[in-house]
Chains A and B, each alone.
Chain A
Amino acid sequence: MKKKVLLMGASGSGKTSMRSLIFSNNPATLTARLGATIDVEQNHVRFLGDLILNLWDCGGQDAFMDSYLASQRGTIFQHVGVMIYVFDVESRTTGKDLAYYHDCLEGLKQFSPDAAVFLLVHKMDLVRGPKNVTFERKKKELEEASSEAAVTVFGTSIYDESLYRAWSNIVHTLIPNASVLSKHLATFATACSATEVILFERTTFLVIATSTPTRLPNPGLEEEHDDPHQLDPTRYERTSELVKAFKYTCSRVRGEFHSLEMELHDFTAVLDEMTRNTYVMIIVHDPTIETAALKLNIRLARRKFEELQGDSIRD
């Protein structure tokens, strides 16, 4: 099953950088060396078992944009599952950016009317002063420019966890039966006396599903208040970011990251392979639970999840 994902936006807005961070495990500091993308770079990224993302990184220079909208129009905008449009928060050509964005929306409406649209206000790290004020202003501007199209807007930067938050949400919309996975994770969490269980995709470390029922797609909304733990709302994306960074270190110096267990003051956690394509992290607060027992539980649950995962993407 292939899903076409369009990555669009002005030249220099950061598309190739985020792709290299999320899918190639390169560190943010190396992105400065990237050259402008010429035309479209296609990548097939095996994401979950048979779920293959067909990622189209579309070079954003005007000449390319003009051709996407004219002669290549059909090729570009056909069979799109998701369009991600990246805006540099510091852009000095906002008018032109919005005009191109508007034209791309038209193309999408014509050839893939059901595609989901995500807008990333990128390079948020460069914003001086209150970031949320800038973000809200940009968000409003973009929503207005989108007229009736339903869009989801995220603020992102390659230098912090915000990129993982956005991409986890994007990918989430591509996994047909993620809610089934969530339900089984909840059962597994109960069996482990765990507070929470999180399932990650293996290479990108994006969050696929969690045992905590609903993940709200909109940043800024509070978690339900009957939650007795009130865990940090940024924990998922920060976990992705932390593990990703450490994986990179390992790959550079000494073999490949495999698993992690922690018995810290505030919690116990085990992070280990669940299936061929996923990692699981179990968070436990009950001090009487041993990490060895958690590891055993993961081993026992592997086959079940291997089956489930196969089901969840065969829609």
Chain B
Amino acid sequence: LNGHRKSLSPVARTKILLLGLRRAGKTSIQQVLFNKLPPKQTFFLETTMRIVKHIYDTVIPLEIWDCPGNITVDTLGAPLSQFTTLIFVIDIRDLYNQPISKLVEFIVAAYRENVNINFEVFVHKAEKLQEDDKIENFRQIHERVSDRLLDLSQEYEQVQLGFHLTSVHDHSLHEAFSRVLHKMIDSLPYLEDLLNVFCANSQSPKAFLFDIASRLYLATDASPVDSATYSLCCDYLQMLNSFGPLYKSITASPSRTQKLTPTPPPSASSASSPKSRSPSPPDNSTLPRASAHTNTKRPSKDIFYPSAATSLQQTTPATTLTYHLITPHLALLALVPTSVYEGRRGLLEYNVVFFREGVQEICDVEKETRGG
């Protein structure tokens, strides 16, 4: 029976084990990231009674195992060797002994089976504490886990443990999970290269490749990530995701993308000045740009790729935050100087096309090697 099921879904999924005591927040994490559950609604989640396996497709296909709080290495019913990553969730206000014993138990068992497994600890519900207590509790948990492991054997000094402060109520969860994900994406260096090239050619100080639905970033350029910028991009993406269906027209929308693609669009000049009033002659500096934009923006491509831009004031230099769809599930978000966005739009679009082709190629290779 097993073999039969395999042939039906032959994709080799990267598996993540989500562990932690009851009410630690495992299901909330899974649902907020991958099922669009609003954070406030996690309050109503019921206790998980048995293992629930969630699949999610991004650059790599994922399978996330949400476990009940009382699970042990023996009752898991699957060899730990098949997991790429083990995430252990600890409520930041919890009495630390019990969760830490459990975590150590799993680390020891998993390390025996697979020395390459990634161990990640989410010190969760962090927003509940004030900054000082937060840092202190985080430090203590980190220290106790390390101490307990070293008490068992010096060999565990090698174990790579990642610690993250997380909360479903802000972007810390998204940022932490993104970093966890990066360790699982084999093609990460190639994606990073593409982003570095894009940034250099577009004078962009920061660019992210996002998974659209989960708002995790799959890769970014080499410049350091600051949480504020990541948060901004996350919120921007969330706004665009919400706008997407808001002005859908039952008659006009369906034909829209088809009309957009096959033939070059007629000139937009028919709509370029209000008929009823023209208070002043159109400013020359805008007009040529508008038509140049027509030429570069839509080469006769077979697919329409949505895009968006928002400009921010009182930044130096003035910044525009751009969004470009790359594949149906991935988007490029970049900060670019407004002068570049407005003055060198053609170049920017060209860089996006180049980037898109690179990413699509990488995705195709991933697909091929995984089968399916």
A287 touches B257 (CB 8 A): yes
Residue of B nearest to A252 (CB): B228
| Residue from A235, A246, A265, A290 within 8 A of B253 (CB atoms) | A265
For the complex, give the distance between the alpha carbons of A283 and B256 in Å.
Answer: 13
Q: Kindly specify which of A53-61, A99-107, A131-139, A298-306 makes contact with the partner chain.
A: A298-306
B249 touches A231 (CB 8 A): yes
How many whole Å from B363's CB to the nearest CB in chain A? 20
B268 touches A293 (CB 8 A): yes
Known: A253-B231, A285-B249. A242 touches B239 (CB 8 A): yes
Q: Say if the beta carbon of B282 comes within 8 Å of chain A.
A: yes
How many whole Å from B157's CB to the nearest CB in chain A? 39
| Residue from A257, A265, A290 within 8 A of B310 (CB atoms) | A257
How many whole Å from B170's CB to the nearest CB in chain A? 9
| Residue from A29, A196, A242, A287 within 8 A of B265 (CB atoms) | A287
Q: Collect the chain A residues with CB atoms within 8 Å of residue B83's CB.
A: none
For the complex, give the distance between the alpha carbons of A181 and B294 in Å.
Answer: 32
Q: Say if the beta carbon of A238 comes within 8 Å of chain B.
A: yes
| Residue from A246, A255, A267 within 8 A of B313 (CB atoms) | A255
Q: Could you say which interface size class chain B belongs to?
A: 35 or more
Q: Collect the chain A residues with CB atoms within 8 Å of residue B310's CB.
A: 246, 257-261
Q: Collect the chain A residues with CB atoms within 8 Å of residue B239's CB.
A: 242-243, 245-246
Q: Say if the beta carbon of A26 comes within 8 Å of chain B.
A: no
Known: A249-B231, A304-B277. A296 touches B290 (CB 8 A): yes
Q: Say if the beta carbon of B235 comes within 8 Å of chain A.
A: yes
Q: Say if the beta carbon of B371 comes within 8 Å of chain A.
A: no
Q: Collect the chain B residues with CB atoms within 8 Å of residue A287's CB.
A: 256-257, 259-260, 265
Q: Say if the beta carbon of A145 comes within 8 Å of chain B.
A: no
| Residue from B256, B307, B309, B312 within 8 A of A285 (CB atoms) | B256
Q: Collect the chain A residues with CB atoms within 8 Å of residue B101's CB.
A: none
A191 touches B275 (CB 8 A): yes
Could you say which of A196, A238, A300 has the most chain B C-beta atoms within 10 Å of its C-beta? A300
Q: Say if the beta carbon of B158 comes within 8 Å of chain A.
A: no
B252 touches A285 (CB 8 A): yes
A258 touches B312 (CB 8 A): yes
Question: Which residues in chain B, 272-321, are within 8 Å of chain A measured between CB atoms?
Answer: 272-280, 282-283, 286-287, 289-290, 293-294, 297, 304, 306-315, 319
Residue of A nearest to B227 (CB): A253
Q: Say if the beta carbon of A220 comes within 8 Å of chain B.
A: no
Q: Say if the beta carbon of B95 comes within 8 Å of chain A.
A: no
Could you say which of A159, A242, A303 has the most chain B C-beta atoms within 10 Å of its C-beta? A242
A296 touches B280 (CB 8 A): no
Q: Collect the chain A residues with CB atoms within 8 Å of residue B282's CB.
A: 296, 300
A258 touches B276 (CB 8 A): no
Instruction: Tell me how many residues of A have a C-beta within 8 Å of chain B.
Output: 60
Binary interface profile of B, 236-257, with partner A (CB < 8 Å = 1, else 0)? 1001101111111111110011
B274 touches A195 (CB 8 A): no
A304 touches B308 (CB 8 A): no
A300 touches B265 (CB 8 A): no
How many whole Å from A186's CB to the nearest CB in chain B? 10
A29 touches B312 (CB 8 A): no
For the complex, give the distance between the alpha carbons of A130 and B331 in Å.
Answer: 37
B169 touches A253 (CB 8 A): no
B248 touches A266 (CB 8 A): yes
Binary interface profile of B, 65-91, with partner A (CB < 8 Å = 1, else 0)? 000000000000000000000000000
Q: Say if the beta carbon of A229 comes within 8 Å of chain B.
A: yes
A300 touches B273 (CB 8 A): yes
Q: Collect the chain B residues with CB atoms within 8 Å of residue A239's CB.
A: 243, 246
B274 touches A297 (CB 8 A): yes
A265 touches B306 (CB 8 A): yes
Q: Say if the beta carbon of A71 comes within 8 Å of chain B.
A: no
A250 touches B256 (CB 8 A): no
Residue of B nearest to A232 (CB): B246
How many whole Å from A308's CB to the nearest CB in chain B? 11
For the complex, give the distance between the alpha carbons of A235 and B249 in Å.
Answer: 12
B271 touches A297 (CB 8 A): yes
Residue of A nearest to B265 (CB): A288
For the complex, give the distance between the alpha carbons of A73 and B273 in Å.
Answer: 55
Q: Say if the beta carbon of B224 comes within 8 Å of chain A.
A: no
> What residues make up the interface of B, taking CB atoms closer than 8 Å to A?
40, 169, 228-229, 231-232, 235-236, 239-240, 242-253, 256-257, 259-260, 265-266, 268-280, 282-283, 286-287, 289-290, 293-294, 297, 304, 306-315, 319
Contacts A246-B239, A264-B308, A285-B256 aside, 12 further interface pairs with beta carbons under 8 A come to A193-B270, A230-B250, A235-B247, A246-B236, A249-B232, A255-B313, A258-B311, A264-B306, A265-B304, A267-B252, A299-B286, A300-B279
- 15 pairs, A vs B, C-beta closer than 8 Å: A230-B251, A231-B247, A238-B242, A239-B243, A242-B242, A242-B243, A260-B309, A262-B243, A265-B256, A265-B304, A290-B293, A293-B269, A296-B272, A300-B273, A300-B274
Q: Give the 3 A-B CB pairs with smallest separation, nearest first.
A: A285-B252, A292-B290, A191-B274
